Amino acid sequence: MIKGSTRRLLVGLAAVAVLASACSTGATTAPATAAPATAAPATAAPATVAPPTTYKIGYSNAGGVGNGFREEQVCTAKAEALASGQVSELTVIHQNGTAAEQLQQIRDLIAKGVDAIVFNPNDAAALNPALTEAKTAGIVTVSVDAYVTDPDTYNLYNNQVEYAKLGAKWLFEQMGGTGTVYYMRGYAGHPADNDRHKGFLEVLAQYPNIKVVPNNDGVATQWDPAITTTLINDFLSSGQYETIQGIWTSGMDSIVVDAIKAANKPFVPIVGADLGAFVKQLLDPVGYPGLVGAAVTNTAAVGGAGVGLALKLLNGETVTTDPTASQPNTVLLKPVVAENVTDQGKALLKSWQVDGLDPNWPLGLQIEGYTTYTPAQAVACKGPND
C-alpha cells in the first residue's frame, strides 16, 4: 500500500500528468550484460508475478439516506471497489448529517489511514478544512454528485445546471409558455440543488408568462419520500393544485404522480429524473392515463465512478477534465431529456430500463471510462469487505 510521502509524490505526478495531458512513463529496463565465462549453466527460474497494488478507500455520504439516488450511489461505489480488484478495504459512512458532521466523517476516514476519500458533499466550502488535512496526509479526495471549492479535490458530477435547464425548458414549452408551475426542489443548501435552482431560474427568466408557486425559491423536499408525500398531499388538499399547469420536481417524481392519481386528479405535465418508477409511469398509459412528462438523466453511478477516478489518480493515470466547469479538476457529465409525447422520446425511455432494478433507483448504472462493474454487481450492493 502506498503511504505518506510516497503517495503524495504519486498524487503530485498524477496532477502533473493531467496538466500536461501526457501519460506517466512505465518502468525502465536495465541493459543486459554478458554472464561471466565461469558462470554455471542457467536454470529456468519460476516466473513470479508481483501482487497488484491495493488501496484502502473511504466513502462519505451525509444526506438523502433512504433516497433511491443516494442508495444506488453507495451501491455503485461498493460494486466498483469490488470489481476493480484494487481495493482491499472500503469504509462507508452512510448517514444523514450536517456539513459539520460530514467534516467529522472525513476526519474519521483520515484517521483510518485510507488512501483516498470519495464523498458526496453537503456543502461546497464547509468541508475544505478536512480536505486540506487529507492532502497533508497524502490522501486523494474526490467529490461526487456536486463540486467543492477545494482546489486539490477532484470533482465528478452531473451537470446540474443543465439538468434543470433541460427539464424547465421542456416543461415551459409543453405549457405553451404560459401558466403556473409548482416548483419542488431537493435538499436545501446542497450544491447540486443550488445548481439546479440556478438553471431553473435562468430558463424561467426567458418565459415571462410562467409563474412559480409557492414562490421562485420553491419548496424543499429534502429528497425525502416522506417529506415529499406530505408536501404534495397538502398541496392537493389545499385546492392549489387546480391553479397550476405544470410541476417541476427534483427527483421525487413518482411519489408526486402516485399522489395525484390517488387523489383522482387529472395530471398536469411533470418533469422528473430518470428513476425507474417514474419512467415506468411515463410508459404506462393504461395505469396513468393522461400523464405527460419528461425524465432528465441524473446517473447515480457517480458513486462508482468516483471510486474509479480515485483509483486512476492513485495509479498515476491521466484524467481528462472539463475546462468549462466552474471549478478546476472537474469531470462533468452531460444530462439528456426524454419525454413520453413522441415515439422517439418513448423509445429512449424504453431503452433506459433495467431488469431487476429497484424502482426508486435511477436507470443509468454505468459511466464509460470510470466504472467496470456489471449491472448485477451494482444491484447486489456488495463491496470488497462485505
Least confident residue range of 40-44, 78-82, 214-218, 315-319: 40-44
Mean pLDDT for 58-75 is 94
Gap between the Cα atoms of 127 and 216, Å rounded: 28
Query: What is the per-residue pLDDT across 172-224, written as a single tens digit (0 to 9) for each?
Result: 999 999 999 999 999 988 889 999 999 999 999 999 999 999 999 999 999 99
Gap between the Cα atoms of 333 and 373, Å rounded: 19
Q: Domain 160-296 sits in which CATH superfamily?
A: Response regulator (3.40.50.2300)
Query: What is the per-residue pLDDT across 339-378, written as a single tens digit (0 to 9) for each?
Result: 999 999 999 999 998 888 999 899 989 999 999 999 999 9
Residue 59: pLDDT over 60:
yes
Look up cell 469504509; give the residue.
Answer: 91
Contact 283, 134 (CB under 8 A): no
Query: What is the per-residue pLDDT across 18-46, written as a single tens digit (0 to 9) for each?
Result: 333 333 333 333 333 333 333 333 344 44
Residue 1: pLDDT over 90:
no
Please report the pLDDT score of residue 19 as a whole number.
Answer: 33
Look up cell 481495493; give the residue.
Answer: 87
Please report the pLDDT score of residue 14 as a whole number.
Answer: 38
pLDDT averaged over the chain?
88
Mean pLDDT for 127-140 is 98
Mean pLDDT for 261-265 is 98
The H or E element spanning position 105 is helix 99-111
Mean pLDDT for 271-300 is 97
Give the count of beta carbons closer than 10 Å to the beta carbon of residue 234.
11
Please report the pLDDT score of residue 119 as a whole number.
Answer: 98
Domain boundaries, the chain: 160-296
Please report the pLDDT score of residue 53 as a whole number.
Answer: 85
Please report the pLDDT score of residue 355 as a whole number.
Answer: 82
Classify strands 293-296 and 337-339 as parallel, antiparallel or unpaired: antiparallel
* DSSP three-state, residue 294: strand
Output Rg (C-alpha) for the chain, integer angstroms.
24
Mean pLDDT for 319-330 is 93
